[in-house]
A and B are shown apart, each in its own frame.
Chain A
Amino acid sequence: MVFTTHLFLFYFLPTFLILYYAMPFRSRTALIAAGSYLFYGWANPFWPLLMFASSGVDYLCGLGLLRLSGLPRDGGLPPILPKDQPRSRAQRALLIGSIASNMALLAFFKYSGFAVENLNALSEILGMGTDLVPALKVALPVGISFYTFKSMSYAIDVYLGDARPMVNFVDFCCFEAFFPDLVAGPIVRYGAIEQQMRERSHTADKFARGVVFFAMGMAKKILIANPLAQVADAAFRAGGLHWYDAWYGIVGYAFQIYFDFSGYSDMAVGLALMMGFVLIRNFDSPYQAESITDFWRRWHFSLSTWLRDYLYIPLGGNRRGPVRTYVNLMLVMLIGGLWHGASWNFVIWGAIHGGMLAFERMQGKQGPSARLPGGYRVAITFGVVCLSWVFFRAETLPQAAGYLASLFGLARTTLASDAVAAAMYTPYHLVIMTTAGALVWASPGSWAFSRRITWARAGYAGVLLLLSAAFMWTQSENPFIYFQF
Chain B
Amino acid sequence: MQIDRRAQILMVAIFLAVILAPGLIQAVFELRDGEWPRALDVFLRPPTAQNLHAYERSLEETSLVIKQLRPGMQYFQWRFLADAGEKAVVGRDGWLFYRPSVRYLVEGQTGAPEDDSTDPLLAIRSFRDQLGARQIRLLLVPVPDKESIYPEMLAGRAEGAGIVVCERTRLLLDRLEQSGIEYVDLFEVFRRARQQESRSDPGRLYLAQDSHWSPEGVRAATVAVARRVLDAGTIVRGNHAYTERPVTVRRQGDLVQMLRVPQIERALEPESVTCSQVIEAGEGMPYRDATDSEVLILGDSFLRIYEQDEPESAGFISHLARELGRPLTSIVNDGGASTLVRQALAGRPALLKNKRLVIWEFAEREIRFGIEGWKIVPLVRPGTTSR
Which residues of A are at the interface with B, using a C-beta cutoff of 8 A?
5-7, 9-11, 13-14, 17, 41-45, 204-205, 207-209, 211-212, 214-215, 234, 237-240, 402, 414-423, 426-428, 431, 452-455, 457-458, 461-462, 465-466, 469-471, 473-476
Contacts and interface: CB of A to CB of B under 8 A. Distances in A.
Interface string B22-40: 1100000000000000010
B232 interface: no
A474 B9 CA distance: 30
B70 interface: yes
A10 B3 CA distance: 29
* Top 8 closest pairs, chain A to chain B, by CB: A239-B109, A208-B8, A239-B110, A428-B81, A428-B83, A458-B7, A421-B155, A418-B157
Contacts of A207: 8, 12
A452 B6 CA distance: 12
Contact of B11 (A43, A417, A461): A461
Nearest to B82: A427
Given A45-B48, A415-B151, A473-B69, A465 B102 contact: no
B8 to A, nearest CB: 4
B49 interface: yes
A455 B3 contact: yes
Interface string B133-155: 00000000000000100010011
Chain B contact-residue range equals 35 or more
Given A10-B19, A453-B8, A474-B85, A239 B111 contact: yes
Contacts of B73: 470-471, 473-474
A482 B154 CA distance: 33
Contacts of B80: 427
B86 interface: yes
B81 A431 contact: yes
B49 A211 contact: no
Contact of B66 (A6, A43, A211): A6
A414 B109 contact: yes
* B interface majority secondary structure: helix
B56 A419 contact: no
Contacts of B4: 452-454
B372 to A, nearest CB: 21
20 contacts: A5-B56, A6-B22, A6-B66, A7-B56, A43-B49, A414-B164, A416-B166, A419-B154, A423-B89, A426-B83, A428-B81, A454-B4, A454-B7, A455-B10, A458-B8, A458-B10, A462-B15, A465-B18, A473-B66, A475-B86
Nearest to A206: B8
Given A239-B167, A471-B73, A474-B77, A418 B18 contact: no
A428 B360 CA distance: 39
B18 A466 contact: yes
Contacts of A204: 5, 8-9, 12
A208 B11 contact: yes
Contacts of B20: 10, 14
Contact of A422 (B108, B154, B164): B154
A474 B74 contact: yes
Contacts of A474: 70, 73-74, 77, 85
Given A11-B23, A208-B8, A208-B11, 10 more contacts: A7-B59, A43-B49, A204-B9, A240-B110, A418-B158, A422-B91, A428-B82, A453-B8, A455-B3, A466-B18
Contacts of A471: 73
B47 interface: yes
B222 to A, nearest CB: 27
Contacts of A208: 7-9, 11-12
B114 to A, nearest CB: 12
A44 B49 contact: yes
Given A454-B3, A474-B70, A211 B12 contact: yes
B197 interface: no
B256 interface: no
B317 to A, nearest CB: 31
Contacts of B90: 426
